[in-house]
Structure 1
Amino acid sequence: MDLLRSSEFSAYVKKIIDHRQIPGIAVAVIQGNGITSTGFGKARVNPLIDFTPDTPFSVGSASKSLTAAAVALLVSDNENYPQVQYGATMASLLPDDFVMPGKDHGDVTVEDILSHRTGMAAHEYSLLGSKAGHPDDARSITRNLRNLSTVAPNRHEYIYCNMMYSVATYLVEHISGMSFSDFLDKHLFQLLKMDSTTLQPSRAQAKGLGARMAAGYLRANAHRELQEVPYSDRPESQGAGQIITTANDYAKWVKAMINREGPITEEIYQSLTKARIEQDPSEVGDLEHSLYYCLGWQAQKYCGYTIVSHDGGDYGSQCDHFFIPELKFGGVVFCNADYTNTTVSQIKYHLVDQMISGRQNGKILQANADSSSLGSEADSESGSEDGQDELELEQELRQELCPGIKTRQPQVLPLSSYAGQYWNPGYKGIKVESKQGVLFADCTDRSLSFTLTFRHVCNQTKYLAFMSENFETNDFPLKAEFVLENNNSILLGLLLDHRVGEYIWFERVNALVKD
């Protein structure tokens, strides 16, 4: 339990903060029945607020371990919910609501949705956020699955899909008759005394935690100035993220897993940590480097031990929570900057390596690292290399659209031939309009909000659409194609999901009348 109290660890983290210009870091360590925690730097830079182990923080996808646990509680309660089993089909549990596309995915089970093996692509840009006329929630996401495409047979491969974790929360709500927030409060948070943990920022604020919440930060421009990211409720991300918690509270959750405390029985623990599918099968069969997805957790071998973990990220934040069952040891690492995924991993493995007696075959041994060996995640965002990569990608996509093309062909047809409302059942509506002499689409009603600026490549039909995502500094190109009839667009295809590998087609449902 002296890992966090050592001057060496404190100096190590402070060096990372200074070198990488990270606002703040909170760390908690669990060993046996004890929790030790500490904080470094600032939760907010204006006004200055210290980052402590009791600072509320958005953990992003690290929320999935709680979602899986909520479902596991239903599965274990055979008296009240005998129909809910890992092998039960989702279609039988949510009749009419859960309908997968096509004829080959009717056998998707509870286990399948929690282990990312349904064959459904991510389809992140299909989710409608709070700015939409009809924002998505867990039920609407579930009902929209039928309108989206799968990319692999069920149980064939690991394909990370946030939507299925939102679907899991709708299952909990439908079966229990409680909101997912209330279910978590009653069956997990209260029992584990996680008093500073909520679902959605508004509930944290309602509990009086708002003034203490860590702000998320990202690099706003080429000068790498910190930009604060505002908190907002995102019901469409329920289950996949949106847990607000503290390092101390999430350490209680990890401790419950390690020691089978509160609602976590041996049966539930085994079901959550059982390897269900290999994430990236190795051709050489290297067990030491194989990573498996369980249910809301990942598992891998490391120096002869098992690490069970799940990282997470939100706008302006990165984190991880983990444990080693054989050692009854675990930890939580929170960083309130979006460029700190490597930092989180380094601190995690620094603690793990210290715990397993500084094995020299460790993954990342940083105990004696100086500032030159730490590198700089912030430097990687300077933009020069990214800009070169994007230029090369743009040239590559142009050749895919129009092989052999040297320069872009001029736009001949009037932009009014393309402007209009377009519709896809799964992705809903997109409005294409003429703006400052180019075709433009404002898709900021999405959960992952973005805009598209179209640049003609060839044939009056093939374009590159430059996507500008919210909170991102660089645009990136994707392929787009219009289908014309009598010199007027009738269809728009957008390559919105690389895993799908083909256009998402939108039908033009009405033209925009020029003022």
Structure 2
Amino acid sequence: MQSNRVPGLSIAIVRGDQAKSTGYGFASVKSQEPCTADTLFDIASSSKSLTAAAIALLVEDAKYSGVQYDSLMSELLPDDFVMSDELHTKTVTVDDLLGHHTGMPGHDDSYMGIRATEPDDARSITRNLRNLAVTAPPRTRYIYCNMMYTVLTHLIETKSGQQFDTFLQERIFDRLGMTSSSLQPKSARARGHDHRLAKGHIWDKKSASYREFDAVDCPEGQGAGSVISSANDFIKFLSALIDRNDPITEDVYQGLTRPRSERSANHRQRTVGIDRIFYTAGMDLYWQGEHAVLGHSGDITGFGSRFVFLPDLKFGAVVMGNSSGTNSVAAQLFREFITEVVNSDMARQQLKAVAGRDVPMKLPEVRMHPKSDSQDHPTGMAKAKGVKGKDQKRDSPEVKVVSQRTMALGAYTGDYWNPGYHNMRVEMRENELFIDATDRSMGFTARLKHRRDQSLYDAHVRDAFDTGDEVLMTEFTIEDDKVVRMGMDLEPLIRDLIWFDKVGNK
């Protein structure tokens, strides 16, 4: 925990009919509040497993017979689900959204957060799909896409007539006795759980201390994240998956664990014998020897979570923590847990008793094989560190090379508009071009540094917590000595910049 800068950690384990849990460190470093197994965390993308379970319950409910895994999204939501080309609109199914198999990249900077003048919600996120470029045909490539899980919550709300948080509460949390779980931090506070909410933490190298903050509401990201839970609560969900406890029936379980897309394992995974990883519905699936391993992770600024379960060995574990280093700790713990369980006498005995019951022992086939390696999971509110896309995009149009900028900086300032990414304002701050995009869900600021000619700049990006230093290629289009467009490398999987037209130009 210390080496990974994790101030507080909660762990719960279930093995057979026994569950144990504990906590380590502090839920808040500032107040020295101890972290326990009942401490509440934002579990980030681990929430996708619960969204997928909600969809599975909708599919298995006879009242909603029109909602099936192979149903076309454009038929279920004819007014709202329109993608940027006809092929995707007429092809993409519920299954494709669950398995990150739609061909849509993340576009994580396109959705507006609670600080925006017009914040996004599940419906507006869905309706904005038509304005966002795809990067691959449907079912040809695993591409992790947060917002498609938000779109799934819009489907749930439209068909059930309930808000997503109510559906989760009534159909999953209440039935599993997950009395401390809710959607969004504000719901946890409204239920009197404020004192149990962990603070998010960021390690500040300069001061050699933690910066601390409250968990943030993210209604525009519901379904992709934003579930608040504890280790003691979430282990009940894992137990239900393992034992098929109500509301997780056998049909619901099979729907959740069926492989939908595939990606190659990374180098570290291959060194421990994992060659192929499948995505089911809100969960990864791989094999450790003969044993199926399912799970997911979540990572946003200040919080992390990870869960895993081996269904044929009746083992599950969840780890939650209050910094982005949580998943590194969880990965080390899970390697030890899985090795111990797989090698134990109990595991070998149980394998004989339940062989073939839960998942096939041979590798399954998905409908189409991916054409490239995996897309890493987005990190949530924080933008990734490092240089992105500078050598991947096309360079600027052929222009006379000028070593010095000659146009006045004021010529570049103003509002720029893109239908999918909305407004981006360039202003002057400390004699530099500056963008304040903290109104976005994954908010950031950018200082634009001149690179070459009159048009090429590097945007030095820091997230809303003033951490990181990502460098994005930025290009301005100049016509008749006027700046008319700005392009930014906001989506690395698109083979072009995201272009914004300058507002007010005729």
TM norm. shorter chain > 0.5: yes
Q: Does 1:447 align with 2:431?
A: no
Shift of 1:73: 0.6
Cross-structure match for 1:477: 471
Shift of 1:20: 4.0
Which blocks of at least 5 consecutive residues in structure 1 are unaligned? Answer: 1-16, 360-385
Shift of 1:280: 2.5
Deviations 1:90-132 (A, max 9, x none): 0000011000111210211000011100000100000100111
What SS is found at the alignment partner of 2:28?
strand
- One-letter code of the match for 1:210? D
Contact 2:476/2:485, CA 8 A, preserved across alignment: yes
Cross-structure match for 1:239: 223
Shift of 1:435: 2.1
- One-letter code of the match for 2:329? T
Alignment of 1:210-289 (within 5 A): 210-280=194-264, 288-289=274-275
CA distance in 1, matches of 2:200, 2:475: 37
CA distance in 1, matches of 2:393, 2:87: 35
Shift of 1:223: 4.2
Alignment of 1:283-362 (within 5 A): 288-357=274-343
What SS is found at the alignment partner of 2:188?
helix
Contact 1:402/1:458, CA 8 A, preserved across alignment: no
CA distance in 2, matches of 1:252, 1:52: 16
Deviations 1:457-511 (A, max 9, x none): 2220111111111225332211111111221111111111111131111001127
Which of the residues 186, 192, 198 maps onto 2:182?
198
Q: Higher mean Cα deviation, 195-204 or 333-342? A: 333-342
Q: Higher mean Cα deviation, 272-281 or 146-155? A: 272-281
Shift of 1:394: 10
Q: Does 1:497 align with 2:491?
A: yes
Alignment of 1:76-155 (within 5 A): 76-78=60-62, 80-105=63-88, 106-155=90-139
Shift of 1:395: 9.1
Cross-structure match for 2:423: 429
Cross-structure match for 1:29: 13
RMSD: 2.5
CA distance in 1, matches of 2:409, 2:2: 51
CA distance in 2, matches of 1:189, 1:394: 42
CA distance in 2, matches of 1:476, 1:58: 25
Q: Higher mean Cα deviation, 167-176 or 221-230? A: 221-230
CA distance in 2, matches of 1:254, 1:195: 15
Q: Does 1:183 align with 2:177?
A: no
CA distance in 2, matches of 1:427, 1:399: 20
Deviations 1:168-203 (A, max 9, x none): 000000000000000001100010000000000011
- One-letter code of the match for 1:81? Y
What SS is found at the alignment partner of 2:473?
strand
Deviations 1:420-479 (A, max 9, x none): 111000000011112222211111110111112111222201111111112253322111
Q: Does 1:458 align with 2:452?
A: yes
Deviations 1:124-163 (A, max 9, x none): 0001001111000100000000000000000111000000
What SS is found at the alignment partner of 2:328?
helix
Contact 1:422/1:510, CA 8 A, preserved across alignment: no
Which blocks of at least 5 consecutive residues in structure 2 are unaligned? Answer: 346-383
Change (3 A) 1:119 1:396: closer
CA distance in 2, matches of 1:398, 1:169: 34
Shift of 1:416: 2.1
Alignment of 1:379-390 (within 5 A): none
What SS is found at the alignment partner of 2:87?
coil
CA distance in 2, matches of 1:142, 1:85: 19
What SS is found at the alignment partner of 1:190?
helix
Change (3 A) 1:278 1:179: same
- One-letter code of the match for 1:100? M
Change (3 A) 1:309 1:399: closer
Shift of 1:333: 0.9
Cross-structure match for 1:373: none
Shift of 1:319: 1.3
Cross-structure match for 1:362: none
Q: Higher mean Cα deviation, 222-231 or 57-66? A: 222-231
CA distance in 2, matches of 1:398, 1:500: 8
Contact 1:32/1:259, CA 8 A, preserved across alignment: no
CA distance in 1, matches of 2:208, 2:335: 27
CA distance in 2, matches of 1:489, 1:418: 6
Contact 1:333/1:348, CA 8 A, preserved across alignment: no
Shift of 1:224: 3.7
What SS is found at the alignment partner of 2:343?
coil
CA distance in 2, matches of 1:398, 1:94: 34
Contact 1:276/1:293, CA 8 A, preserved across alignment: yes
Which of the residues 31, 39, 44 maps onto 1:60?
44
What SS is found at the alignment partner of 2:55?
helix
Kindly tell me the number of residue pairs found equivalent between the two proteins: 462
CA distance in 2, matches of 1:474, 1:308: 31
Q: When the two structures are superposed, what TM-score results if normalisation uses the length of structure 2?
A: 0.87
Q: When the two structures are superposed, what TM-score results if normalisation uses the length of structure 1?
A: 0.85
